[in-house]
Amino acid sequence: MKTFRWLMGDRGSRSRFFYLLALGFFWTGLGGEGWAAAPSITKISLLPTRQLELELAVEVGKSYTFEISTNMVDWEAIGGIESAPASTITISDTDTVDMTPVMFFRLKEGRFTSFGFWLAHYAPAGQFVGGGMTPTVNLPVSFQGYSAGFDAEGDAPYPPPSQVLFTGPAGSGLSAAPASEEYSETDDEGAWYISPNMPSTFGAPTGTWTVNYRGTNITFTSNLDALSRLVLPVPTVQVTEGMLRSVSWVYRDRVTGVALNSPPSYMREIMLQIEGLSGRIYDSPDGDLPSVTTHTLSTPIPWSDVTGVNLAYDDSDDNHYVIFYWRQ
């Protein structure tokens, strides 16, 4: 999921990336400033990180919907502000301008409500043995299991996970299964519901998925061949003076282990996760381009505290893949 960050408190609005922007009938060029009645864009800046930052003029307490278009005729709603907390809001995209083709953007008054569906797959790929800094990979690698995911935005207050039910196609093992209390999350900005984890070596079955949300069945169709989109980012850790400082990785074929010349075209972003005895102890702040193959930790971690290194990536359909490497 792509994300816009509000630069006023820890709030966020999930969204796709945009590059060329239009807001209502008010236009401003990159780096320029202007004024117009709310809602409007008053400033657009390209940050040194190649991410866009926008200053928006809005009315306090009103709801707004973000929309994108490639032709300024067909618009798609992709995010929103439930209740504007101030008359000026600054937002920035977590992705860089290199990740998406040119798009137009506008902000409309009115509440934004959206629902999304995705599949998450989990693959244990190998383990760090002895003092090795690169794990041994157990080929061929397949999945251990999967979960279905459903997100809702602009529909607060959100129901508890126990009231969101997942039913999958034949062979999915999911029939009116409540969302996981442990892994689902709700807040004022949105809700993310995750089904129970289902064992499977080949991935989630294709077909019709149904999510019962607020007593209404919402259906989604998936034709995902998950194994065809499983690639192995194989990590090498840099540990000095007992501290894990950075991780680099090479993309390899899941069957042969042969190094790939470049990341597959379906990959959209990748992130690093570090596991410890008590659970997750580090997440890279935002997803990087798949062409980025190294990450320096913002704060080094004692290598003795690390029980596993995960590399997780999203595909072009917003499905999620987590590749695990455990320490023995």
Beta bridge partners of 147: 120
Indicate the residue type of 189: E
Torsion of CA 245, 323, 116, 156, to 10 degrees: -50
Between CA 322 and CA 232 the distance in angstroms is: 10
Look at residue 139 in the predicted model and tell me its pLDDT: 98
Convert the pLDDT of each residue in 272-327 to its tens digit. 999 999 999 999 987 788 999 999 999 999 999 999 999 999 999 999 999 999 99
Between CA 218 and CA 138 the distance in angstroms is: 39
Please, what is the Cα angle at 295 between 98 and 244, to 5 degrees? 175
Q: Taking the CA of residue 323 as centre, how many other CA atoms within 13 Å lie in the half-sphere pointing to its CB? A: 28
Average pLDDT per consecutive 10 residues, the chain (328 residues; last block may be shorter): 39 32 34 56 84 84 82 78 84 71 77 88 96 97 98 88 97 97 87 97 97 97 96 98 98 98 94 95 87 95 97 94 95
Q: What is the DSSP string of 56-69?
A: EE--TT--EEEEEE
Between CA 79 and CA 105 the distance in angstroms is: 11
Closest CA to 252 of 121, 126, 95: 126
CA-CA distances (angstroms) from residue 114 to 76, 169, 225? 11, 23, 25
Look at residue 84 in the predicted model and tell me its pLDDT: 85
Between CA 85 and CA 305 the distance in angstroms is: 41
CA-based radius of gyration for the chain: 21
Look at residue 33 in the predicted model and tell me its pLDDT: 46
Look at residue 288 in the predicted model and tell me its pLDDT: 82
CB-CB contact of 42 with 55 (8 Å): yes
Beta bridge partners of 1: none
Convert the pLDDT of each residue in 156-192 to its tens digit. 889 999 999 999 999 999 999 999 999 999 887 789 9
Look at residue 103 in the predicted model and tell me its pLDDT: 67
